[in-house]
Chain A
């Protein structure tokens, strides 16, 4: 089955860019998602990319997809303290398969 891997921690300074990386194994995954989870809360959908796209930009968020390497990244421009949270990468191949999450800490 699908396996999704992410690094566990990332620390950046306020105003810098953050890049969160993810790899997946099943090339038949149709959609790839990024969700954000703040303490004590559910998952908030940030953005997603269809598997036939290379890049998607949505305000401060840029998603890059390298299908050959099965590598997905999320770039957050001008990172703010409010961006501190856990970010989950997920691959859609019925059902949704999640990585373990990357904890982003933003230092003021």
Chain B
């Protein structure tokens, strides 16, 4: 079974731009979570989606948004990028929110 895939793997943007990251979960997994990883803050939870509904949201500004489609694929969007948004963005999927999460390779975003 294929693992979690994330596209693109690397991205360079400038301040003020917006970016959309994509995540395809493991086949059969209906829950997707997003995390931001930075050297200073570590791994921080962004959001969790299950059956197209946002179940949980972390403590991030409204510039960070996400959605999930009927095929369980998910996207997250960051508008008005700031330098501090440079990070590794990790997506994880699980069969349902109570089950073990499996992570993708991440999208590394650099904001200049």
Chain A residues at the B interface, C-beta cutoff of 8 Å: 30-31, 33, 35, 41-45, 48, 88, 94-101
Contact = CB atoms under 8 A, between A and B. Distances in A.
A84 B64 CA distance: 33
Instruction: Pick the most buried of A30, A44, A88, A98: most chain B CB atoms within 10 A of its CB.
Output: A98
A95 B45 contact: yes
- The main secondary structure of chain B at its interface with chain A is strand
A42 B23 CA distance: 13
Contacts of A48: 100
Nearest to B55: A94
B58 A95 contact: yes
Contact of B90 (A42, A95, A100, A101): A42
- The main secondary structure of chain A at its interface with chain B is strand
Contacts, number: 44
27 contacts: A30-B98, A31-B100, A33-B100, A41-B106, A42-B6, A42-B90, A43-B92, A43-B103, A45-B100, A45-B101, A45-B103, A48-B100, A88-B43, A94-B48, A94-B56, A94-B97, A95-B33, A95-B45, A95-B56, A95-B58, A96-B92, A97-B45, A98-B35, A98-B42, A98-B43, A101-B42, A101-B43
B66 interface: no
Contacts of B33: 95-96
Contacts of B92: 43, 96
Interface in B9-49: 33, 35, 42-43, 45, 48
Contacts of B106: 41-42
Nearest to B57: A95
Given A41-B106, A96-B92, 19 more contacts: A42-B4, A42-B6, A42-B104, A42-B106, A43-B90, A43-B92, A43-B103, A44-B103, A45-B100, A45-B102, A45-B103, A94-B55, A95-B45, A95-B58, A96-B33, A96-B45, A96-B101, A100-B42, A101-B42
